[in-house]
Amino acid sequence: MLSFNSMKVLKCFVISILIISCSKDSDNVSDLTDNNNGSGNGNITNSITYQPENYLKDIANFPIGNVVSVNRLNNSQFTDILKKDFNSITAEWQMKMRSIFNGPDNYNFSHGNTIVNFAKNNNIRVFGHALIWHESIPDWLQSFQGSDEEFEELIENYIKATVTHFAKEKTTINGQEVSVVAGWDVVNEAFTTGAENAIFRKKLGSDYVEKCFRWAREADPNVKLFYNDYSLESNSNKTQNVISLVNDFKSRNIPIDGIGLQMHTDYLNPSISIIEANVQSIINLGLLVHFSELDITVNKDRAITTLTYERARTQELRFKDIVTIYSNIPNNQKFGITMWGIKDDDSWLLNHHNNQNEYPLLMDKNYNYKIAHRGFAEGLK
């Protein structure tokens, strides 16, 4: 027979087991409920979605942008989200050479005009992307058989015509009349094998980047001129190439106002310390800094078919860290952060990586705010 003290010990042991069991059951229910809660809430534990209390443009002290196309501007759900969170837009492809340059001195600015007019009507800035990129060359130009001098005249005319055209649409900011199009990626991704072998370098010469910047400045003395590239946050060798380019430009009074770091990054790599070091190298140039195409992959290993809380949470913290890095840039060098898409299934990365189970943006496919958005917002504070 058990003593009285032994019975007390046994009773306490049984109660403890019951409490632990209930606690585990409760945790399991919470996980299931939260991970399937489409509306989300900022205070719900283990939910991959939430409802923001504030929108990004209202928190930031610099422009927050996203990419658009004419088709998406006809989608009211898309534009409602766009106008709430963002005050800068970039044409994803409809202001690139292939969309505009139909033939010698023949330009189609219609899509760009639609985008600029939408921006003007909604007090949104436009960033022009991109005048020269080796992966957006029209077929007729790619097979051009004329002389190098004739080719150079074509490109000079195209750059000047495009920049001049989009400089015409004005808006008023702080009492000052300015162009709706505030800046251009003049040259995109020059430090790549593709660019090295492209027709621009072959026919314009090794100094083609310099020429393009000069022509853009001649067309508009006020627009901000950027060089844009990927992996600048992770590839120190490429970053050094850009630094050398800028220092050379400065020494010879070639116009350049800013550097665009595309920021197509991953939820695990590179390390934040590597990103910080490379970004600081760009900051040290004294130019404007644009995080120009931000997205963060979470499934390069193809290990998941739906977004898990663990990866969503790591992505949230990654957004916070990257946005914090940008927030710490001197105010006079902040041009803004541009996201490369609004909702996951619109991202270019799904096709680029041939992986439909990728979730790199701030909203899910149903326009629910992911906790990635919360991380972005936290980085702004």
Catalytic residue numbers, as ranges:
189, 293
Burial status of residue 374 (CB atoms within 10 A of its CB: 0-12, 13-18, 19 or more): buried
Residue type at 340? W
The dihedral built from the CA positions of residue 169, 262, 332 and 288, taken in this order, carries a sign that is: negative
Strands (E), the chain: 64-68, 88-91, 101-103, 106-107, 125-128, 132-133, 170-173, 176-179, 181-188, 224-229, 258-261, 264-266, 288-297, 334-339
Query: Two tokens at 217?
Result: 């400045």
Query: Two tokens at 278?
Result: 């490379």
Could you write out the DSSP letters of every residue in 209-226? HHHHHHHHHHH-SSSEEE
Evaluate whether 330 touches 283 at the Cβ level (below 8 Å). Answer: yes
* CA–CA distances in Å: residue 148 to residues 70, 142, 154, 163: 35, 13, 10, 23
Whether a cis peptide bond, with omega within 30° of 0, leads into 270 is: yes
Burial status of residue 324 (CB atoms within 10 A of its CB: 0-12, 13-18, 19 or more): middle
Evaluate whether 134 touches 200 at the Cβ level (below 8 Å). Answer: yes
If phi > 0 it is left, if psi is from -120 to 50 it is alpha, else beta; for residue 307 that is: beta
Query: Two tokens at 335?
Result: 């041009």
Query: Closest by alpha carbon to 294, among 228, 245, 243?
Result: 228
Q: What is the residue whose two structure tokens read 């492209």?
A: 198
Q: Which run of H or E residues covers position 348?
A: none
Residue type at 26? S
